[in-house]
Amino acid sequence: MQTLIKQEMALGAHRSWGINGTPLRDYAFAPGRFQPNLKDAAQEKLDFEALFVREAEKAFARGEKLNVLDIGTGGGTTWRRPIVEYGEKFNLSATTLCDCHGIWGGIRPMLKFTNAARVHLHYPAESFDVVLSHYGLHLELRAAFDGIIALLKNGGQAFLSGYGYVNPWHPEMDDYHSYLSVTRGEFGSNFKIIMARDTSHSYENGVEWFLWLQKT
C-alpha cells in the first residue's frame, strides 16, 4: 500500500495529489485542464453542487437527511461552505489517507483514515444515498468498486472521477482500463450508468475519467 502511494505521488504529483478544496460545483469532473474530447454529446459542464442540493432538498422534504460519503476528501475544506449553508439537510461521512493535508477541524468528527479499497470495511452496507470521489480513489477504482456499490442504498448514486496512466510498465497504475471495464458492463449488473466521460488518449499525462452511476 505505501509503495503504491509513493509511486502514485511521484508519477501524479501534478494531478490528484495537488487537488484539495475543490469547490463542490466542480466535484464531479474538471474537464477544462487537459482540453478533453468528451465522448458524450452533452459537453456542458456538470454543476455537481446544484444536483447535490436538489437531492438533499428532496430528502429533507420527506423528513430525511441525505447520507453522503466523500472518499478521499483530502483536507475536507470543500465541505466548509456547504455545511454552513445547508448542512442541516445532509449527513456527511468522509475518508482521507493521512493527516497530511492540513485537515479542516470541522470535518474531523466525520472523518476516517483509510484507502479507497478498504472503505467498505468502515461502514455498514447500504448506508449511503450518495458516494463521491473527486480524484480521491488514487488508482484503486477496480479494488474499490464493489465496495462502493455495496455501500449505496438501492437507488443511491455514485459520482466518481479519476485518471489512469495507460502505462504498460506500471499496470497497477492503470485506472483508465478499470473505467472502461465499468462502462462495458464487466463489473456486474447491479448498477446503471447515467453518465460516463473521459478525455482523449494521452500517453504522457494520462487519461481523466468520470462516472455517474445509480445502484439498481
User: Hey, where are the domains in the chain?
Assistant: 34-134+150-215
Main-chain phi, psi angles of 129, to 5 degrees: -80, -30
CB 211 within 8 A of CB 195: yes
Packing angle, helices 175-183 and 141-151, rounded to 10: 50
Backbone angles phi, psi at 4, to 5 degrees: -60, -45
Determine what percent of the chain is predicted with pLDDT higher than 70: 74
Task: Give the residue-averaged pLDDT of 139-147.
Answer: 91
How far is the CA of 144 from the CAs of 98, 107, 108, 114, 216, in angstroms?
Answer: 18, 23, 23, 12, 18
CB 154 within 8 A of CB 183: no
pLDDT at site 102: 80
Fold of 34-134+150-215: Rossmann fold (3.40.50)
- Residue 36 has a pLDDT of 41
What would the pLDDT profile of 100-133 be if each residue is shown by its tens digit?
758 888 999 999 999 999 999 999 999 999 999 9
DSSP 14: T
